[in-house]
Amino acid sequence: MKRKINVKNTEIVLFQKNKADYISLTDIARYKDSERSDYIVQNWMRNYETVEFLGLWERINNKNFNSIEFDGFKNKAGSNSFSLTPKRWTKSTNAIGIISKSGRYGGTYAHKDIAFEFASWISAEFKLYLIKEFQRLKEEENERKSLGWDLRRNLAKINYKIHTDAIKENLIPSKISKNQKNMIYANEADVLNVALFGTTAKDWRAKNPGKDGNIRDYSLVEQLVCLSNLESMNALFIKQGIAQKQRLQVLNEIAIDQMKTLLGRGNENIKKLK
C-alpha cells in the first residue's frame, strides 16, 4: 500500500514490505535537486561511511547478506574510480534494505533506518522534518487501526450477553460448580467457532502455537459481523430448545450464506469498518 507525506513542500512516497516501512530515497533527493535525484543517491552510496553503514544494517537484519561482495565494495568505497548504484548493490550483496522499483511510483526506496541516514546526509533540518512527518503518519495509522479494531471487536461483543444469558437460563443446571459452568459456556462458544471457522478454539491454538490471543482476534471484519449475527441466532435457537447438533448444522448453513454476501462486491458499509 502506497502512502505519502509532505516534507518541506516535497512529496515523499512510502510503502510497506513484510511489515517494514520503506521510504523513497528518490523523493528525498529531489529536495536537494529535482532534476538529478538518481545521481544524488549514487553519489551518497559511493561514500565509505555509507557503504559501511549499509553493510552493518544488512548484517543485523539480513541473514542472506553476501558479506564477501560487501567487503569488495567496502575496500573500494570512497576512491575516485568507485561508483555504486542501488541495483548493483542489491544484486551483488542480496541486500534487502534498499529496493529499486519501476512503474508509476518507481525509484529507489530504502528501509526507514537507511532513509533517515540518507536524509541526514542531504540536510539535518530535512531529516528532522522527515522524522516528524513519518511519526505523525504512524500515529494516525495506529489510531485508525485501534479505532477499527475496537469497532470490529465490539461487533462480536454486541450480542455476547444475549448469548450467554440464553445459555445460563436454558442450558446450565442449578447447583453446579463454576468450572462446570465455564465448560458449558466454552462448549457453546465452540459451536459458533465450528459453524463459522470450521475449528474449535483448542484445535486452533494447537495449530497456531506462536500466536497470542484466540481465533477471533485474527478474524476478518466480515467474519466478526457474521459471528455477531450467529450469537443472536444461537441464543434464539437455545431458547427454542433446539438440540446442539441441529443448531450447529443450521448455524453453519447461515454462516456460509452470510459470508458469501458479506464478501461480495459492493458492500460499502463493511469496507468502512476496515
pLDDT by residue (tens digit) across 221-232?
Answer: 778 888 888 888
Per-residue pLDDT tens over the stretch 162-200: 566 666 666 544 554 666 566 666 788 888 888 888 888
Question: Residue 47 CA to chain centroid, in angstroms?
Answer: 35
Give me the pLDDT at residue 157, please: 60
Give me the pLDDT at residue 178, please: 67
For residues 222 and 270, the answer to whether their CB atoms sit within 8 Å is yes
Give me the pLDDT at residue 187, please: 84
Per-residue pLDDT tens over the stretch 68-101: 999 999 999 989 889 999 999 999 999 999 999 8
| Sheet with strand 107-111: strands edge to edge | 2-7, 10-17, 20-24, 107-111, 98-101
Lowest model confidence (mean pLDDT) among 1-10, 49-58, 263-272? 263-272
Residue 8, amino acid? K
Q: Where is pLDDT greater, at 236 or 268?
A: 236
Over residues 109-124, the mean pLDDT reads 94
**Hey, which bits of the chain come out as E strands?**
2-7, 10-17, 20-24, 98-101, 107-111
Q: Which residues contact 131 (CB under 8 A, 6 or more apart)?
A: 116
Q: Which helix (H) or strand (E) segment is 133 a member of?
A: helix 124-157
Give me the pLDDT at residue 34, please: 83
Lowest model confidence (mean pLDDT) among 91-95, 115-119, 128-132, 270-274? 270-274
Residue 272, pLDDT above cutoff 60: no
Question: What band does 217 get if pLDDT is binned at 50, 70 and 90?
Answer: confident
**Hey, which bits of 19-71 come out as E strands?**
20-24
Lowest model confidence (mean pLDDT) among 68-72, 78-82, 203-207, 259-263? 259-263
For residues 214 and 249, the answer to whether their CB atoms sit within 8 Å is no
DSSP 8-state secondary structure symbol assigned to residue 265: T
Give me the pLDDT at residue 186, please: 75
Give me the pLDDT at residue 134, please: 92
Cell of 150: 475496537
Give me the pLDDT at residue 130, please: 94
CA atoms 19, 25, 26, 27: torsion sign: positive
